[in-house]
């Protein structure tokens, strides 16, 4: 009996033990993946903190990528890598474990030369090994470089010349760098060193340093708006830093144009060229900063301005021959060549003063500067609706196609609603003091340039009627009327002509009643009864690219 009782007790304990083991294994199977995931997440966060710390303290302009766009090899361990860090200034590429060693071992492009006695007039090549462009040729044997699937061959970060490993000799390591094809655009580090020394000695005869660079030196500054239209500005920042001195490239989301343009005062008078990468609004922002330079008495340092169109409309860029929009189809090297070959012209800039009506109105008049056009009516309404929508959800408006589709939607809506009808009964128009009798209109547009509405030659229309010549440097404005959004669409596809109201040096528009949408260069607002006066303000020095195939042949010939 006692034995049988013992056997019964052990039988009862066995199922309980099995249950505890099952619970234990279940907990392990659940907790172990969680602990492993938490540990990996902790290690990943720790690595990211270490990488950010290296990026912050480094003199390199490091960026991290999950996938390189071309075959890449680590500059330290020489292993093939798919992801890792790269310097947008000197072009170094490195895997994550070797990042700290690469940052310690390799120097980046130097903005100025330090630790040199006297005023140097040259500098040696700065060679970086590996990851050379596939289309490059050796400067010694003229054969293609970078063809072997390994870390091989050298590239100078200044002149962009490449050399085979076997062609590299000691004389090349100490040879003076010529700065290559773009020597007339690059600001050499030794020039900035000399100017810095002269400023310490309170000398301002910077022209004496120019022969160290080139007789035809025309240094360029690149001002990129990384938030414009297609959001391509970030890519261009790195590509221009590779080809130029990094001190010449500015991100307008981090530094204002007025501050960036002070570099012009370190450079020879009337020699600087500025490339603005952005939309027409960014160009206007830079031109306003240039006007501030005139007020400060820095007129002799005023640069000439070229445009790389990254916005939505890009009408000013199109008028100046730089195209209606850039999507990466032209290499950065060709863009720099175009800037070098461009011709200087003048662009009228206008003062738009909006004075609210009312006997007890104590507010100051609103003052705008106009480069492109002013309008009241359906196109201003489309711009106002687009602007309000973009303010609510800015992440949706990162594509030029999406932006134009939204414009099309609001234009189609206005064709049905006609919110701006009977405009001629609500406004009075004066051209050079003479009142104009208005036909039945929904909109009035005042033009300074040839293009409007994203590529339309508004003043010309279908081109089948005689009309006075329109120019952007003659001190005259072209004033047209439209019958509505559908009429605007017809003009866009050359199926209709605008209502040409005339040309004038001064335009005065009186809004007698109600509230109407208005815009200046794409910046819209809703305006109550007021008086709008447009007068000439100043000229801007621009660069015209005659190589771009546009319809603006008349402006091209006149600018010459």
pLDDT tens digits, 68-109: 988 999 999 999 999 999 999 999 999 999 999 999 999 999
Cα angle: 410, vertex 411, 415; to 5 degrees:
115
| Ranges of each domain in the chain | 56-105, 110-123+179-341, 126-175, 349-538
pLDDT tens digits, 25-64: 888 888 888 888 888 887 778 777 888 888 888 999 999 9
Would you place residue 467 in the very low, low, confident or very high pLDDT band (cuts 50, 70, 90)? Answer: confident
pLDDT tens digits, 308-350: 998 877 899 999 999 888 877 889 999 999 999 999 999 999 9
Would you place residue 503 in the very low, low, confident or very high pLDDT band (cuts 50, 70, 90)? Answer: very high
| Six token digits for residue 316 | 């000013």
Pick the more confident residue, 28 or 17.
28
Whether the per-residue pLDDT at 527 is higher than 80: the answer is: yes
pLDDT tens digits, 217-242: 899 999 998 877 556 778 888 899 99
Contacts of 245 (CB under 8 A, 6+ apart): 109, 111, 186, 187, 188, 189, 192
pLDDT tens digits, 135-163: 889 999 999 998 888 999 999 999 999 99
Instruction: Give the CATH number of domain 126-175.
Output: 3.30.60
Q: How large is the average pLDDT for residues 11-17? A: 62
pLDDT tens digits, 243-299: 999 999 999 989 999 999 999 988 888 889 999 998 888 999 999 999 999 999 899
Q: What is the pLDDT of residue 361?
A: 61
Strand locations in 410-522 (E): 427-431, 434-436, 443-447, 477-482, 499-504, 507-511, 516-520
Cα angle: 406, vertex 408, 412; to 5 degrees:
120
Q: What is the largest distance, in Å, between two alpha-carbon atoms of the chain?
A: 128
**Whole-number Å distance between alpha carbons of 487 and 492:** 9
Distance between start and end Cα atoms, the chain? 122
Pick the more confident residue, 233 or 529.
529
Q: How large is the average pLDDT for residues 445-456? A: 88
CB count in 10 Å sphere of residue 14:
10
Q: What is the pLDDT of residue 435?
A: 94
pLDDT tens digits, 513-524: 888 999 998 888
**Whole-number Å distance between alpha carbons of 244 and 336:** 10
pLDDT tens digits, 175-193: 889 899 999 999 999 888 8
Q: What is the pLDDT of residue 172?
A: 85
Q: Which of 439, 444, 441 is nearest to 478 (CA)?
A: 444
Q: How large is the average pLDDT for residues 436-459? A: 90
Q: What are the angstrom distances between the C-alpha of 236 and each of 209, 219, 328?
A: 30, 18, 10
| Six token digits for residue 90 | 């000197």
CA 314 to chain centre: 12
pLDDT tens digits, 400-415: 566 666 556 655 555 5
Q: Say yes or no: do domains 56-105 and 110-123+179-341 share a fold.
A: no
pTM of the model: 0.84
Whether the per-residue pLDDT at 538 is higher than 90: the answer is: yes
Cα angle: 516, vertex 522, 527; to 5 degrees:
20
| 43: enclosing H helix or E strand | helix 2-57
The strand pair at 154-156 and 162-163 is best described as antiparallel
Q: What is the pLDDT of residue 400?
A: 59
Pick the more confident residue, 368 or 467.
368
Pick the more confident residue, 276 or 123.
276
Three-state SS letters, 438-453: CCCCCEEEEECCCCEC
Q: How many CA atoms lie within 13 A of 413 on its CB side?
A: 13
For residue 176, give the DSSP letter.
Answer: B
Would you place residue 359 in the very low, low, confident or very high pLDDT band (cuts 50, 70, 90)? Answer: low
User: Are 512 and 319 in contact, with CB atoms under 8 Å apart?
Assistant: no
The CATH fold assigned to 56-105 is: Wheat Germ Agglutinin (Isolectin 2); domain 1 (3.30.60)
Strand locations in 95-167 (E): 127-129, 154-156, 162-163
pLDDT tens digits, 378-431: 888 887 876 666 666 665 655 656 666 655 665 555 554 567 788 888 999 999
The strand pair at 499-504 and 477-482 is best described as antiparallel
The class of domain 349-538 in CATH terms is mainly beta
Whether the per-residue pLDDT at 499 is higher than 50: the answer is: yes
Q: Which of 381, 424, 416 is nearest to 516 (CA)?
A: 381
User: Are 336 and 220 in contact, with CB atoms under 8 Å apart?
Assistant: yes
User: Are 443 and 380 in contact, with CB atoms under 8 Å apart?
Assistant: yes
| Six token digits for residue 397 | 């408006």
Q: Which of 217, 50, 225, 72 is nearest to 151 (CA)?
A: 72
CB count in 10 Å sphere of residue 327:
11
Whole-number CA gyration radius for the chain: 32
User: Are 483 and 440 in contact, with CB atoms under 8 Å apart?
Assistant: yes
The owner of tokens 């390591």 is 173
How high does pLDDT run on average in the chain?
A: 84
Q: What is the pLDDT of residue 424?
A: 86
The strand pair at 220-224 and 273-278 is best described as parallel
Q: What is the pLDDT of residue 408?
A: 60
Helices (H), 418-526: 485-492
| Six token digits for residue 189 | 């580090």
Q: What is the pLDDT of residue 556?
A: 37
Q: What is the pLDDT of residue 515?
A: 87
Q: Residues, the chain, total?
A: 560
Domain 110-123+179-341: give its CATH superfamily: Probable inorganic polyphosphate/atp-NAD kinase; domain 1 (3.40.50.10330)
């Amino acid at each position: 009996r006692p034995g049988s009782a013992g056997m019964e007790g052990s039988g009862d304990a066995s199922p309980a033990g099995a249950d505890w083991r099952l619970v234990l294994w279940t907990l392990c199977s659940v907790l172990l993946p969680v602990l492993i995931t938490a540990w990996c997440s902790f290690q990943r966060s720790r690595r990211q903190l270490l990488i950010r710390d290296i990026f912050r303290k480094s003199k390199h302009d490091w960026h991290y990528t999950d996938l390189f766009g071309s075959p890449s090899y680590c500059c330290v361990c020489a292993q093939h890598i798919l992801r890792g860090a790269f310097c947008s200034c000197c072009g170094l590429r490195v895997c994550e474990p070797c990042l700290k060693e690469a940052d310690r071992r390799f120097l980046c492009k130097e903005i100025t030369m330090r630790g040199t006695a006297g005023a140097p007039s040259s500098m040696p090549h700065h060679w970086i090994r590996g990851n050379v462009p596939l289309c490059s040729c050796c400067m010694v044997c003229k054969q293609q470089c970078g063809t072997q699937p390994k870390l091989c061959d050298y590239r100078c970060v200044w002149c962009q010349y490449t050399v085979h490993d076997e062609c590299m000799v000691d004389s090349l390591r100490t040879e003076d760098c010529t700065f290559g094809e773009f020597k007339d655009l690059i600001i050499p580090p030794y020039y900035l060193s000399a100017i810095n020394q002269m400023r310490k000695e309170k000398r301002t005869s910077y022209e004496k340093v120019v022969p160290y660079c080139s007789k035809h030196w025309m240094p360029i500054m690149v001002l990129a708006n990384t938030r414009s239209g297609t959001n391509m500005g970030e890519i261009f920042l790195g590509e221009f830093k590779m080809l130029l001195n990094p001190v010449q490239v500015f991100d307008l989301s981090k530094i204002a144009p007025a501050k960036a343009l002070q570099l012009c005062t370190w450079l020879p008078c009337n020699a600087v060229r500025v490339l603005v990468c952005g939309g027409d609004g960014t160009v206007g922002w830079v031109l306003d900063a240039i006007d501030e330079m005139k007020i400060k008495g820095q007129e002799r340092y005023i640069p000439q301005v070229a445009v790389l169109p990254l916005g939505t409309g890009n009408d000013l860029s199109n008028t100046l021959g730089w195209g209606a929009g850039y999507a990466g189809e032209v290499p950065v090297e060709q863009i720099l060549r175009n800037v070098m070959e461009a011709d200087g012209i003048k662009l009228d800039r206008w003062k738009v003063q909006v004075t609210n009506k009312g006997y007890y109105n104590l507010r100051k008049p609103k003052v705008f500067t106009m480069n492109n056009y002013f309008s009241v009516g359906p196109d201003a309404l489309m711009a106002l609706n687009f602007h309000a929508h973009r303010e609510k959800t800015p992440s949706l408006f990162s594509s030029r196609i999406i932006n134009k589709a939204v414009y099309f939607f609001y234009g189609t809506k206005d064709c049905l609603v006609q919110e701006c009808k009977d405009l001629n009964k609500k406004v009075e128009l004066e051209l050079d003091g003479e009142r104009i009798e208005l036909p039945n209109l929904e909109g009035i547009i005042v033009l300074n340039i040839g293009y409007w509405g994203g590529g339309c030659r508004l003043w010309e229309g279908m081109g089948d009627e005689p009309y006075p010549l329109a120019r952007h440097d003659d001190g005259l404005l072209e004033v047209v009327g439209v019958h509505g959004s559908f009429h605007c669409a017809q003009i866009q596809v050359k199926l209709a002509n605008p209502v040409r109201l005339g040309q004038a040096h001064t335009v005065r528009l009186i809004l007698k009643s109600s509230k109407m949408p208005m815009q200046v260069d794409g910046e819209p607002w809703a305006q109550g009864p007021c008086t709008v006066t447009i007068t000439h303000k100043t000229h801007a020095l621009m660069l015209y690219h005659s190589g771009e195939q546009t319809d603006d042949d008349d402006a091209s010939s006149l600018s010459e």
